């Protein structure tokens, strides 16, 4: 074992070495997401800012694409991280996995450069193949889609083969099937059609079945692993919970897809299906909170990694409020008629993506640096009382809640004035946008965005320094079962 | 913790998870098979592309209690009647252009996209275009170079996106066709350009 407190890749197994590469890119893209979010937010306040150079459409595209890709990198990193421990077997085909990491990362770099410097193309299929597909969240051009599919097939091979040859646990079973679904669904977004109703029908298969089904199950697997690592909760308990969550999540989330089929030309029966099943969607998220808090408290657990545990708790609450409560608030068609496509959606999107996904990946970052520094102490009594991770946690969460509430206020104004009263005309849209209450929300969003940025900088600083020169070995995770 | 009961056992929940997931997915497949024909172009809800040869209005339906698109008399776009293939080619050019120019990262279409600019679902019917006589020309000119045109009082402007004359006509055709889709009354309470009553 290498010296305590020093970053040394000898502390990591093969899968974990690859995982920290994925985590590194994830953090860089997280930074890009925050930066381009701030730029787009600023354009609401100063519309001439970067006009004609980096227009809102470009900044916003980079903002949401960086989000999707950094979370995917976080998931892939997390999977590689737990793979060898969970399967008790070396990663099968690790060299290929490493190669694919470089291929994928190069492709992402090229896509971002094209977004920034080419931006748009002529109205031909070649633009969709080479520059920009122009469909929100999955703007990546078709060549990159194919690259992504090939890459994830390799990752899937790594994971499935490793579990098959090693120990095939309950987490492994859920993870393998979930990854298959997650990657398979991506294919539904890889074709062109002129019919926008059909286009959006399949587009939602990708977007919804990712973020409200397969991604949720992915983080449930990570949570199960995380609770065993951080608190030493028994496998039997976390795996039983995992199955309950899968049943509830897929049981509500798959048909909950219907809440995107209210207004895109699809038949009226989707009102009932979408309304009913999406109203159920918060239930698994409640279960998740019970799960996390109960396990932490009731078992008098000794916690091996305070920052990771704090972020896991932030995940449980963020997932419940962001995805659950904020989603439910406008999911029924009776209210969605007025809120659909307003700042309500942006408000929900921010808290949900952060609460459900960013938080748990940050928890994995902390587990990562702990092992990377040879399993150092990360419980109480850190130097400076651990002020960096605590302030990062506070600023990121407060910043996000502040942005969410600001956009919700603007969303109220927009749905009332533009949607309900004015009927979504051009004039109605701007009648809402110029309203002082709307504008105030946009200002506050930017202010809290800056707070979030400061939190992000602290987080990166902390991840680079926590445990440095620490001489105590980690507190073992112990839990009463 | 009492884990001997059947409802707390791992195997019960594993089986439940598998059956619930499988069942939901099968239900989704059947619903998809029912929905796709209903939203294919040429269906009742999503008209054929040649609908751009007709007048389109958005009227309150007493029975459904929402506004629905009403397809009226012949009113060919740009004064030229197109057959089904020509109409599809023009709408296709428009749809491709909306993707190539990344419209969706400022605007919403059918309510989906970004929130920096107005929703385009019924933009063909928007009063902003003045009268029906000048609408088509206004729209084409605006799309080609909006940067120097009147927008609003917040100072937000659409940039010039190197859109050709033909592409702009395609976009207008696409918008006209999109306005004919039955969106279950979304957007609500929309106030249309002059309509026959």
Residue A454 has pLDDT above 60, yes or no: yes
A48 reaches B (C-beta below 8 A): yes
Q: What is the pLDDT of residue B4?
A: 73
- Please count the other Cβ atoms lying within 10 Å of the Cβ belonging to residue A10: 10
Q: What is the pLDDT of residue A233?
A: 82
In a 3-state reduction of DSSP, which class is residue A376?
A: strand
Instruction: Tell me the ipTM for this assembly.
Output: 0.96
Task: Looking at the structure, tell me whether residues B58 and B155 fall in a common domain.
Answer: yes
Q: What is the pLDDT of residue A286?
A: 78
Q: What is the pLDDT of residue A380?
A: 87
Characterize A392-428 residue by residue with b for buried, 16 or more Cβ atoms within 10 angstroms of its Cβ, and e for exposed: bbebbbebbbbbbbbbbbbbbbbbbbbbbebbbbbeb
B89 reaches A (C-beta below 8 A): no
What percent of the residues of chain A are helix, what percent strand, and what percent coil, each to the nearest 5? 75, 0, 20
Task: Looking at the structure, tell me whether residues B83 and B169 fall in a common domain.
Answer: yes
Does residue B34 lie within any of the structural domains? yes
Query: A255 and B110 in contact by Cβ < 8 A?
Result: no
A106 reaches B (C-beta below 8 A): no
Task: Looking at the structure, tell me whether residues B100 and B165 fall in a common domain.
Answer: yes
Query: A243 and B109 in contact by Cβ < 8 A?
Result: no
In terms of Cα–Cα distance, which of A221, A177, A187, A286 is closest to A79? A221
- Cα distances from A124 to residues A61, B101, B163, in angstroms, run 20, 10, 12
Q: Which helix (H) or strand (E) holds B113?
A: strand B112-113
Task: Looking at the structure, tell me whether residues B111 and B59 fall in a common domain.
Answer: yes
Question: Distance (Å, rounded) from C-alpha B78 to C-alpha B173?
Answer: 9
Percentage above 70 pLDDT, chain B: 97
Question: What integer is the mean pLDDT of A322-351?
Answer: 95
By the 8 A CB rule, do A162 and A88 touch? no
Does residue B114 lie within any of the structural domains? yes
The least confident of A37-51, A291-305, A442-456 is A291-305
Residue A287 has pLDDT above 80, yes or no: no
- Cα distances from A69 to residues A8, A57, A111, A287, A383, in angstroms, run 27, 18, 11, 28, 34
pTM for this model (two decimals): 0.95
For residue A19, what are its two tokens? 């995982």
Query: B190 and A243 in contact by Cβ < 8 A?
Result: no
B149 reaches A (C-beta below 8 A): no
In terms of Cα–Cα distance, which of A86, A96, A232 is closest to A173? A86
Task: Looking at the structure, tell me whether residues B91 and B162 fall in a common domain.
Answer: yes
- Cα distances from A72 to residues A172, A188, A210, A393, B189, in angstroms, run 18, 18, 11, 22, 40
Task: Looking at the structure, tell me whether residues B129 and B171 fall in a common domain.
Answer: yes
Task: Looking at the structure, tell me whether residues B81 and B135 fall in a common domain.
Answer: yes
Question: Distance (Å, rounded) from C-alpha B24 to C-alpha A263?
Answer: 22
Bridge partners of A354? none
Query: B181 and A424 in contact by Cβ < 8 A?
Result: no
Query: B156 and A433 in contact by Cβ < 8 A?
Result: yes
Nearest by CB: A254 against B24, B104, B153: B24
In a mutagenesis test of the A interface, which of B114, B150, B160, B168 is the best target, namely the one with the most A β-carbons within 10 Å?
A: B114
Nearest by CB: A423 against B103, B159, B188: B188
Residue A481 has pLDDT above 80, yes or no: no
By the 8 A CB rule, do B123 and A16 touch? no
Does residue B146 lie within any of the structural domains? yes
Question: What integer is the mean pLDDT of A338-346?
Answer: 96
Query: B126 and A426 in contact by Cβ < 8 A?
Result: yes
Distance from CA of B160 to the nearest CA of A (A): 8
Compute and round to an integer the Cα radius of gyration of chain B: 22
Residue B195 has pLDDT above 90, yes or no: no
Nearest by CB: A255 against B24, B121, B127: B24
Query: A423 and B113 in contact by Cβ < 8 A?
Result: no
Does residue B185 lie within any of the structural domains? no
Query: B35 and A61 in contact by Cβ < 8 A?
Result: no
DSSP 8-state symbol, A302: B
B142 reaches A (C-beta below 8 A): no
By the 8 A CB rule, do A264 and B187 touch? no
Kindly write down the DSSP assignment for every residue of B56-86, as one continuous string.
EEEEEETTTTEEEEEEEEE--GGG----HHH
In terms of Cα–Cα distance, which of A357, A361, A354, A364 is closest to A305? A364
By the 8 A CB rule, do A259 and A323 touch? no
A62 vs A235, more confident = A62
Nearest by CB: A243 against B17, B45, B186: B17
A residues 406..435 contacting B (CB < 8 A):
414, 419-430, 433-434
A301 vs A178, more confident = A178
B residues 22..81 contacting A (CB < 8 A):
24-25, 27-28, 31-32, 34-36, 38-41, 45-46, 49
Query: Residue B150: which pLDDT band, with cuts at 50, 70 and 90?
Result: confident
Task: Looking at the structure, tell me whether residues B159 and B111 fall in a common domain.
Answer: yes
Q: What is the pLDDT of residue B197?
A: 58
In a mutagenesis test of the B interface, which of A51, A194, A480 is the best target, namely the one with the most B β-carbons within 10 Å?
A: A194
Q: What is the pLDDT of residue A475?
A: 87
Cβ-Cβ contacts under 8 Å for B29 (sequence gap 6 or more): none
Query: A51 and B157 in contact by Cβ < 8 A?
Result: yes
Does residue B89 lie within any of the structural domains? yes
Bridge partners of B109? B112
A residues 315..374 contacting B (CB < 8 A):
337-338, 340-343, 345-346
Task: Looking at the structure, tell me whether residues B69 and B21 fall in a common domain.
Answer: no
Q: Can you give the residue range of the structural domain that contains B16? A: 12-38
Our count of domains for chain B comes to 2
Provide the mean pLDDT of chain A: 94
Question: Distance (Å, rounded) from C-alpha B104 to C-alpha A383?
Answer: 48
A381 reaches B (C-beta below 8 A): no
Query: A127 and B103 in contact by Cβ < 8 A?
Result: no
Does residue B154 lie within any of the structural domains? yes
DSSP 8-state symbol, B22: H
- The per-residue pLDDT for range B26-41, each reduced to its tens digit, is 999 999 999 999 999 9
Chain A: residue whose CA lies nearest to B188: A423
Query: B184 and A200 in contact by Cβ < 8 A?
Result: no
Burial class (CB in 10 A: 0-12, 13-18, 19+), A354: buried
- The per-residue pLDDT for range A63-95, each reduced to its tens digit, is 999 999 999 999 999 999 999 999 999 999 999
A461 reaches B (C-beta below 8 A): no
The least confident of A216-220, A282-286, A349-353 is A282-286
In a 3-state reduction of DSSP, which class is residue B126?
A: strand
Query: B128 and A425 in contact by Cβ < 8 A?
Result: yes
For residue B60, what are its two tokens? 């309150």
Query: A196 and B181 in contact by Cβ < 8 A?
Result: yes
Query: B102 and A119 in contact by Cβ < 8 A?
Result: yes
Cβ-Cβ contacts under 8 Å for A272 (sequence gap 6 or more): none
Distance from CA of A80 to the nearest CA of B (A): 24
Percentage above 90 pLDDT, chain A: 83
Q: What is the pLDDT of residue A179?
A: 94
Q: What is the pLDDT of residue A34?
A: 98
Task: Looking at the structure, tell me whether residues B72 and B164 fall in a common domain.
Answer: yes
A89 in the Ramachandran plot: left (φ > 0), alpha (ψ -120 to 50) or beta? beta
CATH classification of the domain holding B174:
1.10.760.10
Query: A429 and B119 in contact by Cβ < 8 A?
Result: yes
Burial class (CB in 10 A: 0-12, 13-18, 19+), B107: buried
Task: Looking at the structure, tell me whether residues B97 and B154 fall in a common domain.
Answer: yes
Task: Looking at the structure, tell me whether residues B57 and B127 fall in a common domain.
Answer: yes
Q: Where are the alpha helices (DSSP H) in A414-435?
A: 426-433
Distance from CA of B177 to the nearest CA of A (A): 10
Bridge partners of B54? B74
What percent of the residues of chain B are helix, what percent strand, and what percent coil, each to the nearest 5? 45, 10, 40
- Please count the other Cβ atoms lying within 10 Å of the Cβ belonging to residue A338: 23
Does residue B184 lie within any of the structural domains? no
User: Beta strand pairing status for B66-74 and B54-61?
Assistant: antiparallel
Does residue B186 lie within any of the structural domains? no
B136 vs A281, more confident = B136
Query: Residue B194: which pLDDT band, with cuts at 50, 70 and 90?
Result: confident
Question: Distance (Å, rounded) from C-alpha A92 to C-alpha A86?
Answer: 14
For residue A215, what are its two tokens? 């991604």
Q: Which residues of A touch B1 (CB under 8 A)?
A: 237, 481
Q: How many CB pairs under 8 A join A and B?
A: 267
């Amino acid at each position: 074992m290498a010296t305590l407190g020093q970053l040394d890749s000898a502390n990591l197994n093969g899968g974990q070495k690859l995982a920290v590469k994925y985590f590194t890119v994830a953090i860089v893209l997280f930074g890009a997401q925050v930066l381009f979010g701030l730029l787009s937010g600023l354009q609401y306040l100063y519309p001439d800012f970067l006009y004609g150079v980096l227009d809102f459409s470009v900044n916003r595209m980079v903002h949401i694409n960086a989000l999707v890709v950094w979370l995917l990198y976080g998931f892939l990193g997390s999977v590689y991280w737990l793979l060898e421990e969970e399967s008790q077997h070396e990663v099968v085909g690790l060299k290929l996995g490493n190669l694919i990491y470089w291929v994928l990362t190069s492709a992402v770099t090229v896509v971002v450069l094209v977004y920034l410097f080419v931006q748009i193309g002529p109205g031909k299929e070649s633009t969709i193949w080479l520059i920009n597909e122009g469909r929100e969240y999955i703007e990546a051009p078709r060549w990159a889609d194919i690259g992504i599919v090939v890459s994830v097939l390799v990752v899937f091979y790594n994971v499935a083969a490793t579990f098959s040859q090693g120990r095939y646990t309950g987490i492994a079973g859920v993870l393998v099937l979930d990854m298959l679904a997650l990657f398979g669904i991506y294919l539904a977004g890889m074709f062109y059609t002129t019919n926008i109703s059909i286009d959006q029908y399949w587009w939602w298969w990708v977007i919804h079945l990712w973020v409200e089904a397969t991604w949720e199950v992915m983080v449930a697997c990570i949570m199960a692993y995380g609770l065993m690592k951080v608190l030493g909760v028994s496998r039997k308990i976390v795996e039983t919970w995992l199955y309950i969550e899968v049943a509830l999540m897929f049981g509500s989330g798959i048909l909950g897809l219907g809440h995107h089929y209210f207004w895109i030309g699809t038949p009226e029966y989707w009102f009932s299906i979408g309304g009913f099943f999406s109203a159920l969607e918060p239930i698994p998220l409640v279960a998740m909170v019970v799960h996390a808090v109960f396990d932490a408290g009731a078992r008098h657990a000794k916690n091996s990694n305070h920052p990771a545990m704090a972020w896991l708790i932030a995940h449980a609450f963020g997932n419940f409020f962001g995805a659950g409560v904020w989603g439910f608030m406008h999911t029924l068609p009776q209210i969605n008629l007025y809120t659909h496509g307003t700042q309500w959606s942006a408000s929900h999107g921010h808290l949900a993506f952060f609460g459900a996904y960013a938080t748990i990946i940050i928890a994995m970052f902390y587990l990562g640096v702990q092992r990377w520094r040879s399993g150092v102490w990360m419980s109480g009594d850190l130097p400076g009382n651990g002020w960096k991770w605590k302030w990062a946690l506070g600023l990121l969460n407060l910043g996000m809640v502040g942005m969410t509430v600001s956009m919700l206020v603007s969303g109220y104004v927009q749905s009332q004035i533009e949607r309900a009263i004015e009927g979504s005309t051009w004039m109605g849209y701007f009648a809402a946008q110029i309203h002082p209450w709307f504008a105030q929300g946009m200002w506050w969003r930017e202010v809290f965005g800056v707070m979030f940025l400061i939190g992000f900088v602290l987080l990166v600083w902390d991840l680079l320094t926590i445990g440095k020169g620490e001489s105590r070995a980690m507190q073992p995770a112990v839990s009463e079962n | 913790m009492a884990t001997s009961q059947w409802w707390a056992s791992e195997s019960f929940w594993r089986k439940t998870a598998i059956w619930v997931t499988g069942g939901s997915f099968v239900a989704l497949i059947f619903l998809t098979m029912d929905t796709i024909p209903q939203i294919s172009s040429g269906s009742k809800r999503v008209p054929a592309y040649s609908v751009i040869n007709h007048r389109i209005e958005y009227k309150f339906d007493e029975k459904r209690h929402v506004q629905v698109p009403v397809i009226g008399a012949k009113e060919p776009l740009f004064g030229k009647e197109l057959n089904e293939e020509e109409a599809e080619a023009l709408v296709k050019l428009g749809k491709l252009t909306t993707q190539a120019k990344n419209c969706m990262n400022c605007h919403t279409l059918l309510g989906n996209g970004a929130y920096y600019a107005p929703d385009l679902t019924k933009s063909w019917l928007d009063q902003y275009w003045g009268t029906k006589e000048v609408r088509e020309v206004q729209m084409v000119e605006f799309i080609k170079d909006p940067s120097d045109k009147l927008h609003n009082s917040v100072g937000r402007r659409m940039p010039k996106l190197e859109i050709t004359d033909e592409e702009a006509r395609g976009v207008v055709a696409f918008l006209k066709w999109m306005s004919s889709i039955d969106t279950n009354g979304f957007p609500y309470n929309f106030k249309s350009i002059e309509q026959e009553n």
